[in-house]
A and B are shown apart, each in its own frame.
Chain A
């Protein structure tokens, strides 16, 4: 029983990481339809921001806290720049966007190698996050790493913040309007170009925050983003494009599935099984878990 619970919690923490990574994509890919292959490098930028801040400040706790807003700003600015310089010229040309952003992704990886060196680097986790919490005591205890709990909390806070911004603020209304009907938004007086850039800033900024979280569970390297970006795309596609709820549920379901299958088989076999499951699911529901529902498709 403890084993199942333990694996489930491992799955939830894998899901939380996936969710943090996929959240920014749910905005730029899910809502705006841009396939940004450099999204993974914004995660890397967030992680290196944490590393740089820790080098500069020394204190692990303070630098981690400070890294959250700074990484958001750094990755967000990179994203907004990429949108302004390249992506906005390629809207409605998905293959060109994919190629160009892939090129940018390679350039950013090389830049990281040039600045920080090819080998991975590591940050120290703050003391508070290095221990474990015992959820179930006794002979067969269930413990969870504090850092995993922190990531879960961070992921849920980021989802709540994004959901609130989208639901309640003028920016959120504008983003949703542009996604639903770009021309109508423009003739309603909304500068869609500005909304695109802001949405890109927020989506890429969230990737930066994911990068900060990843420093707690693994090393920082130039290719760290590329290794996880495909999983994040899968989460957004399976969840249903443009649906935050779908992204959240899918991230946790895939995380738990991965963890349980890993326990019963091996890491590679689990990965293959999850991918086969996704392919089968998308055959059945190509639009993903959740879709936009209206009486009329205006």
Chain B
């Protein structure tokens, strides 16, 4: 049985786990009276990278906020490892293995780098070990551990945001434009780290990007989101470039 049929029928894989790590099923969501997403269905295969591409205002960030639980959909379902988490609070989704790195290199500006990470590590059995592992990926943060996060550069803050997400040892990672607004010299470094993370296994990624080249290089599957609707989807990789460009220019 192929992954595609499993996905279509919702059949579980032989290991007894659902083939999809995260599914958004016919999700409608928005803010107050403005609907943004119109019956969007996106699935993230286990240990794979799924990219959502689209122009500004297409609803990409709204999609991730809905997946993270910051927005409750008006209809539709959000499933994490097969479990319906549509009504679960964001922190409950984190406890179930979901991590979210929002747009804009967000951190707690008045907390030091070390506090930003300890905040997440507190109360976790493997908190200290997971923090060490996350810092191994971003060694520059070790030297900045006593500095307030608000005083870091954009690139450093994004590294901190990624590290903070990794301390929760997620199985599914939501990344919202991780290289947006970051100086070009650091962009490559962050892209490499994300690629390395996705290759080491045990992590499924839903990546929202405007930078098509990087997104397709990282992704096994892509979706194009336009005005709150999925207009195109397919397998990732460099060869999808043409199809995506065409879909985005429509």
A186–B106 alpha-carbon span in the complex (Å): 13
Contact with B along A283-296 (1 / 0, CB 8 A): 00000000011111
Q: Is A271 an interface residue (CB 8 A)?
A: no
The docked-state distance in angstroms from the alpha carbon of A181 to that of B149 is 13
Q: Does A173 contact B157, Cβ atoms closer than 8 Å?
A: no
Instruction: Judge whether B100 is part of the interface by a CB distance below 8 angstroms.
Output: yes
Q: Is A174 at the interface (CB under 8 A from chain B)? A: yes
Name B116's closest neighbour in chain A (CB-CB): A177
Cα distance, A192 to B119, chains bound together (Å): 13
CA of A185 to CA of B109, assembled, Å = 12
Q: Is B111 an interface residue (CB 8 A)?
A: yes
Q: Which of the residues B94, B108, B157 comes within 8 Å of A187, measured between beta carbons?
A: B94
Q: Tell me whether B120 and A189 are in contact (CB under 8 A).
A: yes
A183 within 8 Å of B (CB atoms): yes
Q: How far is the CA of A223 from the CA of B199 in the complex (A)?
A: 66
List residues of chain A with CB within 8 A of the CB of B189: none
CA distance in complex: A183, B100 (Å): 11
Say whether A85 faces chain B, with CB atoms less than 8 Å apart. no
Specify which chain B residues have a CB less than 8 angstroms from the CB of A190 in the assembled complex.
91, 119
Q: Are A173 and B94 in contact (CB under 8 A)?
A: no
B105 CB–A CB distance under 8 Å: yes
Q: Which residues of chain A are near B107, meaning CB under 8 Å?
A: 184, 298
Segment 152-188 of A: residues with Cβ below 8 Å from B: 170, 173-174, 176-177, 180-181, 183-188
The residues of B that contact A191 with a CB separation of less than 8 Å are 89, 91
- Pick the contact of A188 from B154, B157, B164 — CB < 8 Å? B164
Is the pair A298, B110 in contact by a Cβ cutoff of 8 Å?
no
* Residues of chain B lying within 8 A (CB to CB) of residue A176: 108, 110-111
Contact of B151 among A189, A292, A295 (CB under 8 A): A295
Chain B residues with CB under 8 A of A189: 91, 94-95, 120, 168
CB distance from A115 to the nearest CB of B (A): 39
The verdict on A186 contacting B89 (CB below 8 Å), with A176-B110, A296-B109, A298-B106 known, is yes
Q: How far is the CB of B90 from chain A (nearest CB, A)?
A: 4
Interface residue tally on A, bucketed by range? 20 to 34
In the assembled complex, which residues on chain B have CB atoms less than 8 Å from the CB atom of A192? 91
Known: A294-B148, A295-B150. A183 touches B108 (CB 8 A): no
Q: Report the minimal beta-carbon distance from B215 to chain A, rounded to whole angstroms.
A: 22
Chain A residues near B38 (CB-CB < 8 A): none
- Within the complex, which residue of B108, B154, B168 is in contact with A184, where a contact is CB–CB below 8 Å? B108
A contact residues around B144 at 8 Å (CB)? none
Complex alpha-carbon distance, A183 and B109, angstroms: 14
Is B69's CB within 8 Å of the partner chain A?
yes
Interface residues on B, range: 20 to 34
- The A262-298 residues at the B interface (CB cut-off 8 A) are 292-298
Please tell me if the beta carbons of B69 and A188 are within 8 angstroms of each other in the complex.
no
Contacts of A185 in B (CB 8 A): 108, 119
B89 touches A292 (CB 8 A): no
Chain B 85-113 interface residues, beta-carbon cutoff 8 Å to A: 89-91, 94-95, 99-100, 102, 104-111
- Asked whether A181 and B119 contact (CB < 8 A) given A186-B70, A189-B168, the answer is no
Query: Chain A residues near B118 (CB, 8 Å)?
Result: 170, 173
B94 CB contacts on chain A under 8 angstroms:
187-189
Asked if A173 contacts B150 (CB within 8 A), the reply is no
Q: Is the CB of A187 within 8 A of B151?
A: no
Residues on B with beta carbons closer than 8 Å to the beta carbon of A180: 108-111
Whether a CB of chain A sits under 8 angstroms from the CB of B132 is: no
Q: How far is the CA of A296 from the CA of B91 in the complex (A)?
A: 26
> Which residues of the other chain, B, contact A297 by a CB distance below 8 angstroms?
109
Q: Does B242 contact A (CB under 8 A)?
A: no
Q: Closest Cβ of chain A: how far from B35's Cβ, in Å?
A: 21
**Nearest chain B CB to A170 CB, angstrom units:** 4
Flag whether B115 is at the interface (Cβ < 8 A): yes
- Are A187 and B109 interface neighbours, CB within 8 A? no
**Chain A 103-138 per-residue mask, 1 if CB under 8 angstroms from chain B, else 0:** 000000000000000000000000000000000000
Q: How far is the CA of A174 from the CA of B95 in the complex (A)?
A: 16
Residue of A188, A192, A294 with most chain B CB atoms under a 10 A cut-off: A188
B122 in the interface, Cβ–Cβ < 8 Å? yes
Which residues of chain A have C-beta atoms less than 8 A from B91's C-beta? 186-192
Taking CB atoms, residues of chain B closer than 8 Å to A298 are: 104-107, 109, 150, 157
Listed in ascending order, the chain A residues whose CB lies under 8 Å from chain B are: 170, 173-174, 176-177, 180-181, 183-193, 292-298
Apart from A173-B118, A183-B90, A296-B150, list 15 A-B contacts with CB within 8 A. A170-B119, A170-B123, A176-B111, A177-B111, A177-B119, A186-B90, A187-B91, A187-B102, A188-B168, A190-B119, A294-B109, A296-B157, A298-B105, A298-B107, A298-B150
Q: Return 5 A-B CB contacts under 8 Å, by A number.
A: A176-B108, A184-B106, A185-B108, A187-B99, A192-B91
